[in-house]
Structure 1
């Protein structure tokens, strides 16, 4: 009698492979997280396939971290061995982390957000006092930016970095346009000082207006004309810039478009409250 049972034919399948992004020597932990996310998405669970994918993504000078033991078919955790070897290379001692934070990280041409990201990468999973970290971040910013940010108590450090970038962008783009001041030999730029003072006043005004809206105003006080002139008066003229709306004729800066000068020169008629 012939054997009618089905025959099982074993076919050796080729391991799945993917092309990873080039290795990031200065941020190995994040790179491995990204690589493992790619492995999961493509269903690659075999350690040898993962090992080969990582090897192909490494620069030539990192080949010394690949050992013959890792390439042996008998080793079941070859990928983990290579990963541990590369991460040990990037491991920093506490002393090295402090040196990196205090001496080697500067704002330079990068954004404040990028600098903060780099500082967090150096700290990694180690414990670091949040208040000290925040103070250290602020000291790496220009003095003019620090002057504004120190008023924003309670703001998370990520939002401080975003605000710092906005101030830096405004400073680079708008100071030449809004301030025409004579050059001085002083080490401090007067235009920068004026801009920072204005920004501080804007922040304080917003805070004051929010608190004032919570209390009802008396009709008599609203209609009274006997107000003190010790504080700048906001005229809310849509054709004027913020400086002339706030300080009137006493404004030292002007931001275009603004027709305050045209109005003030016509027949010597100055708008009410600008003298």
Structure 2
């Protein structure tokens, strides 16, 4: 391929690069993604990369690099902009430690997602898994903390188990609110609390069984989990006598 053709291919690749808007809350990962796109598009020219970055910062960001925009350095323009933006927007070690120790909450995140964000905050802080486990459990709902505190598996396994338990809690809470409006609301709520307790025990037993015997535990867990997902709570509790049904439910198709 001629030099002229190579230049045309490079120009086309450079134009095809579509970077997201600059992430003020995570500049390091934003530049990592930008550089991945540069690599895929075979963009190596310093000035081309520099202009791609300038084109993706808004007014609140560009003021931090105004001198590099008005009078860019003769060489290493991209490196200069990258270093400046990261230094201005990356969270300090003190801020990350403060968030990790006190201000980071579960909110509407799944526990596995919360753990990922906590691990990101912990980068470079020399936080071991035991401390991270304690901080992670403190941010979970109070009704699942005691069981997970006794869990001796990996932190990833603990987070996966927390996903299941929080999911069960959320679905039963919704059902409890619906049923509480009726005359038998109190008894229905108690029944669902009892069911939640049994479900938590089942999840814990399932996890321990997998640790003792991987092959037997997997088949047993899949069988139990499958049956729980196919039939709604009302039909699991009352069978054919159930007066309500919550989708998805395969009870009628089975009977």
TM-score range, shorter chain: 0.5 to 0.7
2:155 is matched with 157
| Deviation sequence 1:77-117 (CA, Å, 0-9, x none) | 11111111111123434332221123321111222222222
Match of 1:199 in 2: 199
Aligned 1:85-96 pairs, distance under 5 A: 85-96=84-95
Partner residue, 1:59: 58
Instruction: Report what 1:49 is aligned to.
Output: 48
> Does the C-alpha gap of structure 1 residues 210 and 66 become closer, same or farther in structure 2, counting only changes over 3 Å?
closer
Distance across 2 between alignment mates of 1:130 and 1:210: 20
TM-score, length basis structure 2: 0.67
Any residues of structure 2 matched to 1:119-158 within 5 Å, and which?
119-154=118-153, 156-158=154-156
Q: What is the Cα-based RMSD across aligned positions, in Å?
A: 3.8
Q: How big is each residue's C-alpha offset from its partner over 1:101-158, in whole Å with a ceiling of 9 and x where there is no partner?
A: 233211112222222222222223332122111110110000112233224212x223
Go from structure 1 to structure 2 and tell me whether the alpha carbon gap of 1:108 and 1:133 turns closer, same or farther (over 3 Å shift). same
What is the aligned partner in structure 2 of residue 79 from structure 1?
Answer: 78
* Structure 2: distance between partners of 1:113 and 1:27: 19
Write the distance in 1 (CA, Å) between the matches of 2:75 and 2:159: 45
Q: How many residues end up aligned between the 2 structures?
A: 210
Q: What are the within-5 Å matches in structure 2 for residues 175-214 of structure 1?
A: 176=175, 183=186, 194-203=194-203, 205-206=205-206, 207=208
Structure 2: any 5+ residue segments left out of the alignment? Answer: 214-223, 242-255
Cα 1:83–1:38 shift into 2, 3 Å: same
Matched, 1:256 2:202: no
Q: 1:46 to 1:153 in 2, by over 3 A?
A: same
Q: Which has the larger share of helix? A: 2
Uncovered stretches (5+) of structure 1, i.e. residues with no partner: 1-8, 213-237, 243-253, 263-275
